[in-house]
C-alpha cells in the first residue's frame, strides 16, 4: 500500500499544480486488521467547481483483502483479493432558487462480485437556509459468482446470481441556534435476488455441512438523528448521534455515538469518539440447525453479522494544516490527518484495529 500511497500523493501534487478550477484533491490510505482478515485500501477523491453553482466529484479506490475466513472463499489458506471501485457525481445549485440537485454513479469490480449503482439527490432550503429538506434515491444491480473459491475440484458447482437494490432517503436539517444544528434521516433500502454468501456453509444435525440458504428479499429501515453543538469559549465541537435500525429479517439495532472535536489554535485539531453498537440478530439465525429440511428451517445461515452481538468503537484523530509547517497558499491550506480506531466486536470476527492516513489539498485557479 505504501507504493500506491506515494503514487497517489504524486498525483495530488500534479493535479494541485495544473488544476484550473476551485476544488480539492484528497488521498487516503486505510489499514484494517482483525484476526482472520486484513484490508488495505488506498483511495483518491477529487472535487472541483464546474460552471455557475456546479460541482463535480470523483473517487477511485482499491480494496485489497487478505483473509483466511471461509466466508470470503478461503478453504484452508489465506488469499488476497482486490476490489476496484470508481465513482462520481455532479451537483448543481440553481440560480436564484434555494434548490440543489445532483446525480451520482458508482461501479466496483472484483473476481467474484460486480456492482453498479446510480442515484439522484434533491435539496431545498427554507427560512433563509435555517431549514433544509433533502430527498435521495437510487437503484443498484450486482452480479455474484463463486469464482474466488479456493476449492474448485470434483463436486464444485459454479454460481452466477444477481442482486438488485433500491434506496430511498429523506432528511431534514434544522439550525437550532447560532451554535447548534440538528438533522433527522430516514433511509429505506429494499434488496431482492441472491442475498446469500456463495462460500458460506452451515452446520446441520441431520446433513452436516450444507450451503447457506437465505431469503431472496430484504426490506431495511434506518432512522438516524444527529446534533452538533459548538462551544465558542473553548473552540470545542460536541456531536451526538443515534441510529435505530430494523428490517424484515427480524434484525433490530441501536447505535448511539458521541464525538468531540477540539481545535488547538488555527492549524491543529484533535478528536475523540465513542460508538456503541447492539443488534438483536436475524430471527432465523442459529449456531447449529437441527435439520436441513426447508419445511422446518426455511433459511440457514452461519453469518456472524446476523447473530446477536454488541460492540464498541473508540476513535482518536489528529489533523494539522500545512501552515503549521510554514507552507503558504494551497499547500498552507492542505490538511494532513491521522485516525486510529479500535473496534471491539463481541462475536466470531473478534476485535479490529483501523488506521487512516490522509492528505487533502485544495486548489484554485
CB of 154 to another protein, least distance (A): 26
Cell of 149: 473459491
Of 284, 295, 273, nearest to 340 by C-alpha is 273
Q: Which string of b and e fits 292-317 if b means at least 16 CB within 10 Å?
A: beeeebebbbbbbbbbebebebebeb
CB of 236 to another protein, least distance (A): 9
| Cβ atoms of residues 74 and 104 within 8 Å | no
Using DSSP's 3-state secondary structure scheme, residue 68 falls into coil
Q: Which helix (H) or strand (E) holds 15?
A: helix 2-18
| Cβ atoms of residues 267 and 320 within 8 Å | yes
Cβ closer to another protein: 171 or 204? 171
CB of 115 to another protein, least distance (A): 3
Q: Strands, DSSP E only, in the chain?
A: 23-34, 37-49, 54-67, 79-93, 99-110, 113-126, 131-145, 160-177, 180-193, 201-204, 208-211, 217-231, 236-247, 252-264, 268-279, 309-321, 335-345, 352-363
Cβ closer to another protein: 205 or 244? 244
CB of 206 to another protein, least distance (A): 26
Q: Which helix (H) or strand (E) holds 329?
A: helix 329-333
CB of 288 to another protein, least distance (A): 19
CB of 126 to another protein, least distance (A): 9
Cβ closer to another protein: 282 or 296? 282
CB of 91 to another protein, least distance (A): 13
Q: What backbone torsions phi and psi does residue 95 show, to the nearest 5 degrees?
A: -70, 130
| Cβ atoms of residues 34 and 68 within 8 Å | no
Cβ closer to another protein: 78 or 140? 140
The label of the residue with cell 441501536 reads: 254
Cβ closer to another protein: 16 or 144? 144
Cβ closer to another protein: 130 or 291? 130
Q: Which residues contact 244 (CB under 8 A, 6 or more apart)?
A: 222, 223, 224, 253, 254, 255
Cβ closer to another protein: 249 or 363? 249
CB of 197 to another protein, least distance (A): 5
Cβ closer to another protein: 175 or 210? 175
Amino acid at each position: 500500500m505504501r507504493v500506491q500511497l506515494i503514487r497517489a500523493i504524486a498525483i495530488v501534487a500534479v493535479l494541485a499544480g495544473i488544476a484550473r478550477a476551485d476544488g480539492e484533491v484528497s488521498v487516503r490510505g486505510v489499514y484494517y486488521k482483525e484476526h482472520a482478515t486484513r484490508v488495505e485500501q488506498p483511495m483518491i477523491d477529487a472535487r472541483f467547481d464546474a460552471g455557475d453553482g456546479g460541482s463535480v466529484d470523483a473517487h477511485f479506490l482499491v480494496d485489497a483483502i487478505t483473509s483466511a475466513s471461509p466466508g470470503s472463499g478461503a478453504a484452508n489458506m489465506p488469499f488476497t483479493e482486490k476490489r476496484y471501485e470508481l465513482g462520481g457525481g455532479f451537483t448543481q445549485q440553481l440560480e436564484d432558487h434555494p434548490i440543489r440537485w445532483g446525480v451520482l454513479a458508482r461501479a466496483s469490480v472484483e473476481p467474484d462480485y460486480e456492482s453498479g449503482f446510480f442515484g439522484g439527490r434533491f435539496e431545498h432550503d427554507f427560512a433563509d437556509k435555517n431549514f433544509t429538506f433533502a430527498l435521495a434515491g437510487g437503484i443498484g444491480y450486482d452480479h455474484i459468482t463463486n469464482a474466488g473459491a479456493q476449492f474448485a475440484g470434483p463436486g464444485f458447482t459454479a454460481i452466477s446470481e444477481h442482486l438488485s437494490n433500491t434506496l430511498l432517503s429523506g432528511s431534514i436539517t434544522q439550525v437550532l441556534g447560532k451554535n447548534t444544528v440538528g438533522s433527522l434521516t430516514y433511509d429505506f433500502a429494499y434488496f431482492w435476488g441472491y442475498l446469500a454468501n456463495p462460500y458460506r456453509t452451515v452446520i446441520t444435525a441431520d446433513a452436516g455441512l450444507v450451503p447457506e440458504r437465505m431469503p431472496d428479499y430484504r426490506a431495511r429501515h434506518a432512522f438516524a438523528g444527529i446534533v452538533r453543538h459548538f462551544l465558542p469559549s473553548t473552540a470545542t465541537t460536541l456531536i451526538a448521534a443515534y441510529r435505530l435500525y430494523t428490517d424484515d429479517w427480524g434484525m433490530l439495532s441501536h447505535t448511539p455515538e458521541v464525538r468531540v472535536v477540539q481545535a488547538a489554535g488555527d492549524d491543529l485539531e484533535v478528536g475523540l469518539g465513542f460508538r456503541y453498537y447492539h443488534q438483536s440478530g436475524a430471527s432465523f439465525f442459529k449456531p447449529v440447525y437441527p435439520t436441513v429440511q426447508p419445511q422446518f428451517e426455511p433459511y440457514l445461515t452461519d453469518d456472524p453479522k446476523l447473530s446477536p452481538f454488541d460492540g464498541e468503537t473508540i476513535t482518536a484523530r489528529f489533523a494539522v494544516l500545512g501552515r503549521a509547517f510554514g507552507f503558504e497558499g494551497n499547500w498552507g491550506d492542505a490538511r494532513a490527518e491521522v485516525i486510529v480506531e479500535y473496534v471491539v466486536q463481541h462475536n466470531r470476527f473478534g476485535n479490529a484495529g483501523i488506521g487512516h492516513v490522509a492528505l487533502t489539498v485544495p486548489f484554485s485557479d
